[in-house]
Amino acid sequence: MPEYRAHFDFDMRFANGGGLSGTGFRLDLPSADASEDEIARLLITHLGLALVDEVELRGLRIVEEAHRGSRGVDVPAGSDAGGRVVDLSHPIRAGLVTYPGLPAPTITPHLTREDSRARYARGTEFAMDVITMIGNTGTYLDSPFHRYAEGSDLAGLDLATLVGLRAEVFHLEDAWDASRRGIRPKTLADRDVRGAAVLLHTGWDRWFGQPEYGTGAPFLTGDAAQWLIDGGAVLVGIDSVNIDDTESGGERPAHTLLLGAGVHVVEHLTNLGQLPPRGARFTSAPPAVEGFGTFPVRAFAELPA
């Protein structure tokens, strides 16, 4: 089901004096036939304003465009996305380079189907394989143990913080550029993230497995990580090469703050563009490996029916 947004400039005056203006504003709409008065009311709701007297919209255009999570516009019920499960993980294969400089996985047979025929009844055969890989392969979750020796390892994680989490998806692929790669607190400040999985859709997954993936990538700033912690987020995921800036000389403030606060980190997500800003449920549970801090997950989102 198509979604629509309004593009416009605006001038706003308040009943108790003063005013507010904006240029190049974009706002989610419930339908393509929303009137100017309805759009003005949605603008007021989205900005959380009171005592507004008049709103003038200029250069209004209504375009078919995916919603970004404007307040006051509900996730459409019964859309084509209803009831679907969206896979948010990259497949793992032998030779896959996830993070530049880290080893790729190897897959070798332990028992081939041909050899198994001598061990089992006629017509019965199995394949058993050995995979050797670093935990940072494919789409993976970082537990506190990844950063802190005394932090919880994979076996110590509470499944309630990994399964069926309310997802707040921030669609940011057009919100940054090469000169401003860091995602900052103000970009995330219009949502209630308490108890939620915060998923940062940057679109960088389009480069996954290619040389371009490792340089110039978007990341979460330390200030934004602290804002999410203070807001009560349970998990933060990103579809980029790292949640931190890997070109900053070794500092990792997002990992340090989030994992120190017990907030899980999931990196190298994909397909986040298929999710609505709100309404999905997110799951990313790793195996319960003792003494291990990072491992691939089959991350997925359940969309509302």
Query: For the chain, what are the domain ranges?
Result: 4-74, 140-302
Helices 253-260 and 222-230 sit at what angle, rounded to 10 degrees? 20
Q: What is the pTM of this model?
A: 0.82
**CA separation for the pair 202, 242 (Å, rounded):** 12
pLDDT at 143: 98
Tell me the pLDDT of the chain (305 aa) as tens digits. 788 999 999 999 887 789 999 999 999 998 888 899 889 888 888 888 877 888 999 999 999 988 888 877 876 544 444 579 999 999 999 999 999 999 999 999 999 999 999 999 999 999 999 999 999 999 999 999 999 999 999 999 999 999 999 999 999 987 666 678 999 998 888 889 999 999 999 999 999 999 999 999 999 999 999 999 999 999 999 999 999 999 988 899 999 999 999 999 999 999 999 999 999 999 999 999 999 999 999 999 999 87
Predicted local confidence at residue 82, as pLDDT: 53
pLDDT given for residue 51 in this prediction: 75
Beta carbons of 295 and 265 less than 8 angstroms apart = no
Euclidean distance between CA atoms 211 and 100, whole angstroms: 8
How far apart CA 117 and CA 102 sit, in angstroms, is 37
Q: What is the pLDDT of residue 41?
A: 85
Tokens of 189: 């400040």
Distance separating alpha carbons of residues 53 and 209, to the nearest angstrom:
53
Q: In this structure, are strands 128-132 and 235-238 parallel, antiparallel, or unpaired?
A: unpaired
Residues 6+ apart with CB under 8 A from 216: 178, 181, 247
User: d(Cα 285, Cα 305) in Å, to the nearest integer?
Assistant: 23
Q: Which CATH architecture has domain 140-302?
A: 3-Layer(bba) Sandwich (3.50)
